[in-house]
Structures are given as C-alpha cells and as structure tokens.
Structure 1
C-alpha cells in the first residue's frame, strides 16, 4: 500500500529543482495559464473567475499534500523562475498514479519536462511506494510523446477519443506507462 508523504518534498537535480509551489510563483503561473499552448493541451483548472485568484488557488492546492491524493511540484532552476509543473495523482487503493505536467514557453524543447517527469516518478516509486504510473497525451501533441519517451514511459496504446482538450474537441490519446520495476 502506498505511503504518500503529507508535506511537499524537494527534489534537487543540480541545475533543476522540483519544489513546492509558493506565492512567489503567482505571476509566472498566471502567465502560464494564459499561454495558448498550455490552454489547449493542459487546460488549467478553474478555481476562481479572476486570473490572479485562480493562480493563487492553484498554487495553494498543489502545495497541499495532506490529502494523499496528489504529489505536486513547481519545476524551476535553483533560485530561479518557475519553468513548469509536474504532478502525480495517486490512486492509493491500486498503488497507481497518473502524471501530468506543463512547461512555460521559454522552457519547452530543452528536456526539462522529461527530466521533471522522470524525477517525480522515481520519487513516487521509491518514497510513496507506487507500482505503476500512467501518462496520457493527445496523439496530435508530439512534444508530449517525446517527454514520455525521455522519462522512460513505454507506449502501451491509443485511447480513442479519450479526452476533451482546451479547444473543445475530443482527441485520441497515447497511453504510456512506467512500472516501479522498469529500468531507468
């Protein structure tokens, strides 16, 4: 049975850190949520009508691990600006998780998302005790397929018309997964 930590953990990769999101990330989160690519492929949740309040609520929600349902990090350079986010939604009964992530435009194409997903997954396996983590993305979003591959997630198949994306269309998704026993 998984043992999900109740407080956010810091993961230091040297030139990249996964840390708890905090209110210093507010402007960066607001800008990210306004980005058309993020809005298309990873529509931000809506906690509030006001963009500032919505970003603040997202930060507080993601920094709260006390429910045991999510492991979530802000991705940044050490002492640097927010570059993205990675979260793993936990199904404790099954010992499984579902990973989601995004990066700001300036961080895309630099391998940051793949490294963050790999590090968050290793934490979920080694510390939280998960057995399997899934990653799904629109087939029409090849950069997310590259993230999954870079993070060591095997392609398992296509989920037909599985998710409604930010433009309101249902899209086929690639399903990738990684097991605790898979090699890094």
Structure 2
C-alpha cells in the first residue's frame, strides 16, 4: 500500500522542523549564497530574493508527492538553521533521496545528523518508504560524518558521478538507510 507524506511539523531536540514559509526567504537567500552550500549543493538555484521566495514556495508545496521539505528552526531563537528535504520520492519502489543545507552558524553542532535521523524515522513511520539514499562528494568529509551519525551506512563509491559547484565532476559516496535499519540516535516523539 502506498502512503503519501503529508505536511508535518516535528520537534527534534532544540529544533522545529516544518514546511518552509516565504517569510524566511531572506534567510534562505543567505544560505543559498553561502560558499559551502554553492560548492556542495550544485542543484541549489537560489541567487536572489525572487528565487529564494520561489524556493520557499516550492518547498512548502508537498502536493505532488515528490518531496517533503522542512525548514529547520532553532526553537529558542526562532532562527533559521537550514533545510532538509526528502526528494525524488518514488512511491512505486518505495524509495527517496535526502539532502540538507545547514547555515554556517549551526554547523558543527550536530544539527544535520540530528534532523537527518529524525526525518528518516518520521518518513519510515508515516509512509511506505523502505529505503532512503544520501550521496555526497567524497571530499565532503563533514557530510560523510553526518550520514553515518544519522544512521545512513556507507554502501559504495560512485565514480565520477556528479558535477559540483567547483565545476569538477566528483566521485560520490552512496549512503542508505532502510526501514529495517533504524539509526542508533534519538527518534522524534
């Protein structure tokens, strides 16, 4: 039985995960222009206010069933810490991909691995997904640590797999988490 992911709000440690709002477009623009985001997220198309507004609008519209996008908001300050999205959702084979962008001020604090674990656990509980994949350039060691801490085991190397923001084609690591392999970390309540 196929189940579609419905828009939701998750409370994960000190963060609120909810569908994006156009009110946060300036923070989304700042994140989209961050040099690390531009390098490691080559599909990021945020270049100005209009594209930031459109990115927020598209992220908030889950009606097509192809993605589930969350803004990551620090609860204590209401500050935008980034976003995480299940994308490429294929209900027929029950798979999806996941990607995230974390604001510079929130990096190195465990935010990405915490929300990655929570979103994967939520998706498996709320849908018929059986597998979620995460890829990153081999040189992006921080994303490798995030994947592993978020319960996504390293499966294999994908040689010369994707062109990144530096214009070069990079090898990628393929990590995956299945419905039967929950992470060791905390699950959302």
Deviations 1:92-132 (A, max 9, x none): 11100100101010011110001111111111111022000
Structure 2 CA distance for aligned equivalents of residues 138 and 104 of structure 1:
19
Are residue 153 (structure 1) and residue 152 (structure 2) matched? yes
Structure 2 CA distance for aligned equivalents of residues 41 and 13 of structure 1:
25
* 5+ long unaligned stretches in structure 2: 184-189
Inter-CA distance 121–95: structure 2 relative to 1 (3 Å threshold): same
* 5+ long unaligned stretches in structure 1: none
CA-based RMSD of the aligned residues comes to 1.4
Inter-CA distance 44–56: structure 2 relative to 1 (3 Å threshold): farther
The 5-angstrom pairing of residues 1-184 of structure 1 reads: 1-6=1-6, 8-46=7-45, 51-78=48-75, 80-89=78-87, 90-184=89-183
Contact 2:42 2:163 in 1 (8 A): no
Partner of 2:187: none
Deviation at 1:44?
A: 4.7
TM-score by length of 2: 0.91
TM-score by length of 1: 0.94
Structure 2 CA distance for aligned equivalents of residues 162 and 63 of structure 1:
29
Contact 1:137 1:175 in 2 (8 A): yes
Contact 2:83 2:101 in 1 (8 A): yes
Inter-CA distance 183–20: structure 2 relative to 1 (3 Å threshold): closer
Contact 1:33 1:44 in 2 (8 A): no
Deviations 1:4-32 (A, max 9, x none): 134x2001124111111102211111101
SS of the residue corresponding to residue 50 of structure 2 reads helix
